[in-house]
Structure 1
Amino acid sequence: MAQPWLSDDQQRIWRNYLTLGNRLQVAMNRQLQERCGLSLADYEVLVALSERGSVRVLELAAALDWEQSRLSHQLRRMRARDLIERRDSEDDRRGATIEIAAAGRDALASAAPDHVNLVRSVLFDGMTVEQLRGFDEVIEAALDRLAG
């Protein structure tokens, strides 16, 4: 029979993990807002679009692992700021494609170096190759269990 509670070590690690995730999200959001006027959600969408080019809204939602309603609201805000462009699909009147606009490309180019430096300094600097490999294995295993 499975133990009903986490062990003391598991509880400490779990809470540290949650704290890390929350603090990193706050730090990334603050940095992006202060330096580029972007939210972390803006940044995530811009990165996904820069990697994929023009995509359908449903494909973008799947790539980001977001609910369609959340993405629709986010895209509306970004479109109002000219960060993205929405085009009605020629194949399907109900569908639309989204692509990054020139202002979005500029914002992403401005934001990315500082964002990468923050992530690197918080998570990866000082890690040995073995620690990095172990960290990756833990994350991959958890993601596999969630997908399975």
Structure 2
Amino acid sequence: MNAQHPSDPHWLNERELAAWKAFSAVMIKLPAALDAQLQREAGLNQFEYLVLAGLSESPGRRLRMSTLAVLANGSLSRLSHVVKRLEARGYLRREPCSDDGRYTNAVLTDDGWTKIVATAPGHVTAVRSLVVDALEPEQFDQLLEISLRVLHAMDPDVGCPGSG
């Protein structure tokens, strides 16, 4: 009898391994494809786009930096570097939070608004061709459920199993 030792890895079976390999390929190739499209058409990377888009969808086109970091799925440190670059390009500015001066808001400028409005159509076309059009309508709920479960495994504050 071959009993598994508690310290032995719980190896993936054939089906799990096939799914993992396909998912790994998506995790590597999709961000690269989206970055390439954004870089080629707008001179932005995906994280910069998410920052600008997050601000464009916020009341007053402003958000606390900490909130924006969560919205863009990045650390506050990474966001600070990106905000500095976007600020130098005139797309946003930082200012003290009027509700609490201990915090800093990122505010989308008129140039930033113009940039995101010009960039969004090409980006949504890429997202549609690479992801949306590749799926059947009934698969969107599955994709949402899978995404939330994986996000929840990485960060219990994000998503919730069964909340799709």
Which among 100, 115, 128 is matched to residue 123 of structure 2? 115
Instruction: Quote how far apart the aligned CAs of 1:90 are.
Output: 4.1
Which among 114, 117, 138 is matched to residue 130 of structure 1? 138
SS at match of 1:125: helix
Instruction: Quote how far apart the aligned CAs of 1:4 are.
Output: 0.5
Q: Which residue of 2 aligns with 1:68?
A: 76
The number of aligned residues is 148
Cα deviation digits, residues 80-114 of structure 1 (max 9, x gap): 01111111234544322111111111111111111
**Amino acid aligned to 1:117:** T
**Amino acid aligned to 1:27:** A
Distance 1:134 1:67 in 2: 28
Contact conserved, 2:91 with 2:108, CA < 8 A, in 1?
yes
Which among 48, 60, 63 is matched to residue 42 of structure 1? 48
Q: Which residue of 2 aligns with 1:30?
A: 36
Q: By percentage of residues, which structure has more helix?
A: 1
Instruction: Quote how far apart the aligned CAs of 1:126 are.
Output: 4.3
User: Which one scores higher on RCO, CA 8 angstroms, separation ≥ 6?
Assistant: 1
Instruction: Quote how far apart the aligned CAs of 1:146 are.
Output: 4.0
**Are 2:82 and 1:106 aligned?**
no
**Amino acid aligned to 1:40:** Q
Structure index of larger Rg: 2
Residue 90 and residue 135 in structure 1: after superposition, are their counterparts in 2 closer, same or farther (change >3 A)?
Answer: closer
**Amino acid aligned to 1:94:** R
Contact conserved, 2:47 with 2:72, CA < 8 A, in 1?
no
Which among 83, 102, 108 is matched to residue 94 of structure 1? 102
Runs of at least 5 residues in structure 1 that lack an aligned partner in the other structure: none
Residue 26 and residue 90 in structure 1: after superposition, are their counterparts in 2 closer, same or farther (change >3 A)?
Answer: same
Distance 2:152 2:101 in 1: 36
Percent identity reads 30
Distance 2:76 2:141 in 1: 34
RMSD: 2.1
Query: Please, what TM-score do these two structures have when normalized by structure 1?
Result: 0.87
Query: Please, what TM-score do these two structures have when normalized by structure 2?
Result: 0.79
